[in-house]
Amino acid sequence: MNFLSDHLLLLSVVAPLLAGLAVAFAPKAAAKPIALAGFGLPLLLALHAWRYFPANAGAGYAFLHSYNTGLTGMGIALKLGLNGLALPLYVMAAVVGLAAGLYAMQSAAERMQGYLALLLVMHAGLMGVFASVDVFFLYFFHELALIPTFIMVGVWGGRERRYAAMKMTVYLTLGAMLSLLGLIAIYAKSGANSFDLITLRDALAAKPLDGAWQHRIFGLLLFGLGTLVSLWPLHTWAPLGYGAAPSSAAMLHAGVLKKFGLYGLLQVALPLLPAGAHDWVKPLAWLAVVGNVLVIGLVTVAQRDLKQMVGFSSVMHMGYAFLGVACLAAAPATGGGQMAAGGVVLMMVAHGLSVALLFLLSTSIWQRTRTFDLGEMGGLAQKAPVLAAFFVAATFASIGLPGFANFWGELVIFVAAWKFSPLLTALAVAGVVISAVYGLRAAANVFFGQPTEAFAAVAAANPPADLRWAEKIPALLLLVALLGLGFWPKALSEPLNAAVTALYPVPAAAAAQK
């Protein structure tokens, strides 16, 4: 048990990485069993971590272990551990990773072994992101996961895949470079001579950076990490990239990797640079609500391509998370900040599960209709009732219907936002109505009503079948997780609440006023 606890997080990174290398060179018959092990083992380890995570950990780290990389002179070590903020995202990454892997294995794509190998390397990077305590390796694992994304979009993607891959490369590389500059600036100005997040927190708690430097560094991190998350107006790479990306790559990137930016703000930027964060509150809040929620929400309503609609909706819902970050930065002394931090993490987990499910089902619809055009479909529920039920459930989850995990994330953010700005809260809640419009319209166009002539011709030539078990299993995995957290949010909220209380303490004066 001690060995497993000490090296659990390393195993969850190494297993998919080694499986990816093995799949690339294994005989064809052995590739899928090896890939299944590579995707499945991280989930088993993540569930073990969740089961044995100490209730009193707070902002402290469980399963903490450091590995010498030979760069200790620069303050760099492979230090892995989980606090209550990282745990929910670590578990979510494992769930979405297995679902994406299972869905990829049912495909008949060319050069499947190469595709699975890249997907496994991406999954290894994702597990490493949320397990890293060293800020250098936090960034390193993000890049490890990002590079296979570009290759998979450019080689296995759909229409405009080369342009989409190039645009993703330019935007995400720029965002990553700005983020790296911000992280290096924290390292250099802290005086800690270490990238260890625990050491940095102690050093900057004892001697905070002056306000001017906090302002500059947080600005770098906000727009660098914001680009990676698709903060408006730096979002245009996302819908195009997801529209062109193969399904499993879109599931992993939109569902998990995209959360790196928000995670970096919550875990690194806000605790280390609270005064700098406060300076950027108003620009961030208005960009999030007006840009991501309202403008992108209306753009999503205008979409007639199903996969593009899902891509734009993913960008839109990140606006709620950015609003929560703004509330946290604005109100560290009210208690609303702590509430906002918990809401952002719950929102990230719920969005990761629901958007992955929507991308999976969108591709399953295309496989039966040979189109993403909403105007060319109709009546598919008659031929594929199980697919229709899954899609409607995924739509309800995305809208934030009670009973799904998304409801809790949105509700907590809205309550925290009311303390910050009732006007912005009212505008953000209007986004829920916009989500209902495009989500329910898509479900109605695809599954109900009379089939169009074009769809009737396709159905006559190749009658659509309902979901196969190879598709049902990954879809069920995601849907069960959404419903489980929807009915039992306490499963993740207890360790999360302890972490945000410790990371964002209410000052004594404010606590006395309350």
Residue-wise pLDDT for 457-481, tens only, equals 666 666 667 788 888 999 999 999 9
pTM metric for this prediction = 0.91
Note whether 84 and 56 are within 8 A (CB).
Answer: no
Q: Kindly state the helix (H) or strand (E) to which residue 17 belongs, with its residue range.
A: helix 2-25
Q: What is the pLDDT along the chain (514 residues), one digit of tens a residue?
A: 577 777 889 999 999 999 999 998 888 888 889 999 999 999 999 999 888 888 666 668 888 888 887 777 777 888 899 888 899 999 999 999 999 999 988 876 668 888 899 999 999 999 999 999 998 999 999 999 988 988 888 888 777 788 888 888 888 889 889 999 999 998 888 877 888 888 888 888 888 888 888 888 998 999 999 998 888 888 888 888 888 888 888 899 888 988 998 999 988 888 888 888 888 888 999 999 999 899 999 999 998 888 889 989 989 999 999 998 888 888 654 456 678 888 899 999 999 999 999 999 998 888 888 888 888 887 888 888 899 999 999 999 998 888 898 898 899 899 888 888 889 999 999 999 999 999 899 988 888 877 776 666 666 666 667 788 888 999 999 999 999 999 988 888 777 877 777 777 655 434 444 4
Q: Report the sign of the C-alpha dihedral through residues 85, 89, 91, 94, in that order.
A: negative
> Quick check: bond before 385 cis, omega within 30?
no
Copy the structure tokens of residue 399. 């809208």
Residue-level pLDDT at 189: 87
pLDDT at 129: 93
Name the average pLDDT for the chain.
Answer: 86
pLDDT in tens, 486-504: 998 888 877 787 777 777 7
Q: For residues 401 and 414, what is the distance between their CA atoms, to the nearest angstrom?
A: 14
Closest CA to 227 of 271, 279, 292: 292
Whole-number pLDDT of residue 121? 94
Is 249 within 8 Å of 122 (Cβ atoms)?
A: yes
Q: What are the phi and psi torsion angles at 84 (to 5°)?
A: -65, -20
Q: What is the pLDDT of residue 514?
A: 43
- Cα 6 from Cα 69, distance rounded (Å): 17
Listed in sequence order, the DSSP H helices in 106-160 are: 112-131, 135-156
pLDDT for the residue numbered 357: 95
CA geometry: angle 300, 303, 307, nearest 5 deg:
90
Cβ neighbours of residue 444 closer than 8 Å, sequence gap 6 or more: none
Whose tokens are 């060179």? That residue is 25
